[in-house]
């Protein structure tokens, strides 16, 4: 198996010398997040890359190297969005035609962006693996070059240039936290740190419903999932490769998993506290840092915000989930005698707490209700858990049976 050396990363850095394709992204200290984990938190904001993610680094490195050797006329890739845009921009910049195969379920904004960077987009299958199979067929049918999202030494070396930046940006960092999909990103970054700052702890993080690395490390061979289901679509590859698993095993100190709920909360916190909008994959590192699984107290820690291509529909889903979890969106079910005036009484009581009623639903056809009873189900905006508790206590004090029925 062909490996990747630090010299390969250095060569990739020499190729990535066009600021219009790949730029150096900033690092910012977050005192708010730092206060939550008792650490000095530095956010590496790669989501501010031109295509909204790190993917252009690897794609441009591969295509530029092969173009320099006169070995490529057409590029083919498969992606749910971020790799697609990276390959499209890299290919167009180098004067190479590209075809990107995306799942039919890919967000329209990512499809439109990929086309906007000059690629031909074909929609096939319902997940990444089906799109990948079709892309490989296209590449095998002609003189096209297949650009893998992670299982390619050139891709890993290109992503490693981000690791070099991270070392240079924060020489005193103790821990870096890197999201993992197929492992190309953390492979490149961990190789860079192994060469330039070997004492730094490199922690990988996967979404629970797309996690393959922990089991792959246990069994010593890459494992795949039949299906993945996570809001972090940017790391929902459902598998790793022998190349990336070998590098992770050698250079990554720890891999942990986080739930979609934790990711959603991290997206909201980054929006509120850091004023940064990132996608689920981009927030996974912060979710890990905030979890009980990772202790960074007293350290300088750098979570990598690896992507910012968040579809607005997904943003709504994430925000509703996170706000419901915080009880800033409160669902109350109140049992009432089904007589005139009850809804008005309860609405007035809620308004006295300066809470806004979004919706109210009257339910009569419920098995556990007696004749003449009903449920009123309120969806209420509050300032948080304490405000919600005050509202429910007031309703209970009026003699009503009330339950919080939030679903997160």
Which pLDDT tens digit goes with each residue over 93-132?
999 999 999 989 888 888 999 999 999 999 998 877 788 8
CA gap 237, 80 in Å, rounded? 9
Per-residue pLDDT for 267 more than 80?
A: yes
Would you say residue 163 lies in a domain? yes
Per-residue pLDDT for 289 more than 60?
A: yes
How high is the pLDDT of residue 32?
96
How high is the pLDDT of residue 262?
96
Percent of the chain scoring above 90 in pLDDT:
80
Per-residue pLDDT for 234 more than 90?
A: no
Per-residue pLDDT for 77 more than 90?
A: yes
Percent of the chain scoring above 70 in pLDDT:
99
Q: Give whichever of 59-73, 226-240, 295-309 has the largest mean pLDDT.
A: 295-309
pTM across the whole model: 0.89
How high is the pLDDT of residue 254?
97
236 — pLDDT class (breaks 50, 70, 90):
confident
DSSP secondary-structure letter at 70?
Answer: T
Q: Do 298 and 208 fall into the same domain?
A: yes
Q: Do 88 and 168 fall into the same domain?
A: no
Would you say residue 375 lies in a domain? yes
Q: Do 231 and 218 fall into the same domain?
A: yes
If you average pLDDT over residues 330-343, what whole number do you get?
Answer: 94
Dump the DSSP string for 176-226: EEEE-SSSHHHHHHHHHHHHH-TTSEEEEEEEGGG--HHHHHHHTS--B-S
Sheet of 329-337, strands arranged across: 356-363, 373-381, 329-337, 401-404
Per-residue pLDDT for 1 more than 60?
A: no
Average pLDDT, the chain: 94
Q: Which of 256, 291, 322 is the last residue of a domain?
A: 322
Would you say residue 209 lies in a domain? yes
How high is the pLDDT of residue 408?
44
Least confident of 20-24, 319-323, 332-336: 319-323
Least confident of 4-8, 95-99, 191-195, 312-316: 312-316
Residue linked to tokens 């900033």: 26
Q: Do 283 and 168 fall into the same domain?
A: yes
Q: Do 110 and 134 fall into the same domain?
A: yes
**Number of domains making up the chain:** 3
Q: Do 168 and 216 fall into the same domain?
A: yes
Q: Do 189 and 303 fall into the same domain?
A: yes
**What does the block give as tokens for 200?**
């730094």
Write out the residue range of the structural domain in which residue 385 sits: 326-404
Pairing of strands 120-123, 145-146: unpaired
Q: Do 210 and 296 fall into the same domain?
A: yes
Pick from 285, 277, 91: nearest CA to 185: 285
Per-residue pLDDT for 223 more than 80?
A: yes
How high is the pLDDT of residue 407?
60
If you average pLDDT over residues 266-289, what whole number do you get?
Answer: 96
Q: Which of 322, 338, 362 is the last residue of a domain?
A: 322
Q: Do 311 and 170 fall into the same domain?
A: yes
Q: Which of 146, 166, 195 is the last residue of a domain?
A: 146
Per-residue pLDDT for 188 more than 90?
A: yes
């Amino acid at each position: 198996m062909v490996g990747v050396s630090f010299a390969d990363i250095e060569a990739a850095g020499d190729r990535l010398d066009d600021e219009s394709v790949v730029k150096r992204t900033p690092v910012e200290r977050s005192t708010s997040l730092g206060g939550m984990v008792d650490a000095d938190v530095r956010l590496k904001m790669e989501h501010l890359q031109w295509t909204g993610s790190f993917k252009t680094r690897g794609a441009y490195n591969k295509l530029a190297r092969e173009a320099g050797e006169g070995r490529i006329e057409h590029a083919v890739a498969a992606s749910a969005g971020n790799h697609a845009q990276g390959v499209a921009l890299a290919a167009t910049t180098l004067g190479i035609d590209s075809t990107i195969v995306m799942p039919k379920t890919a967000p329209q904004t990512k499809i439109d962006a990929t086309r906007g960077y000059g690629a031909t987009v074909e929609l096939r299958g319902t997940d990444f693996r089906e799109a990948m199979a079709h892309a490989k067929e296209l590449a095998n049918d002609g003189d096209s070059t297949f650009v893998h999202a992670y299982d390619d030494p050139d891709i890993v070396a290109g992503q490693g240039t981000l690791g070099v930046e991270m070392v240079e940006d924060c020489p005193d960092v103790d821990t870096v936290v890197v999201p993992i999909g197929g492992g190309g990103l953390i492979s490149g970054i961990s190789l860079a740190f192994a060469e330039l700052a070997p004492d730094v702890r490199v922690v990988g993080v996967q979404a629970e419903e797309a996690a393959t690395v922990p089991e792959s490390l246990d069994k010593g061979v890459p494992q795949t999932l039949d299906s993945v289901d996570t809001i972090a679509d940017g790391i929902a590859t459902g598998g790793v490769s022998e190349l990336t698993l070998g590098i992770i095993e050698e250079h990554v100190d720890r891999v942990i998993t986080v739930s979609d709920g934790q990711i959603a909360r991290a997206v909201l916190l980054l929006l509120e506290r850091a004023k940064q909008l990132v996608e689920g994959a981009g927030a996974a590192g912060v979710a890990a840092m905030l979890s009980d699984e990772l202790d960074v107290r007293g350290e300088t820690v750098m979570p990598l915000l690896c992507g910012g291509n968040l579809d607005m529909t997904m943003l709504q889903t994430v925000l509703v989930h996170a706000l419901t979890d915080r009880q800033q969106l409160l669902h109350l079910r109140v049992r009432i005698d089904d007589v005139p005036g009850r809804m008005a009484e309860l609405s007035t009581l809620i308004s006295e707490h300066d809470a806004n009623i979004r919706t109210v639903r009257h339910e009569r056809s419920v098995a556990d209700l007696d004749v003449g009873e009903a449920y009123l189900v309120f969806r209420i905006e509050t300032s948080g858990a304490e405000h919600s508790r005050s509202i429910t206590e007031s309703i209970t004090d009026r003699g009503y049976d009330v339950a919080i029925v939030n679903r997160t």
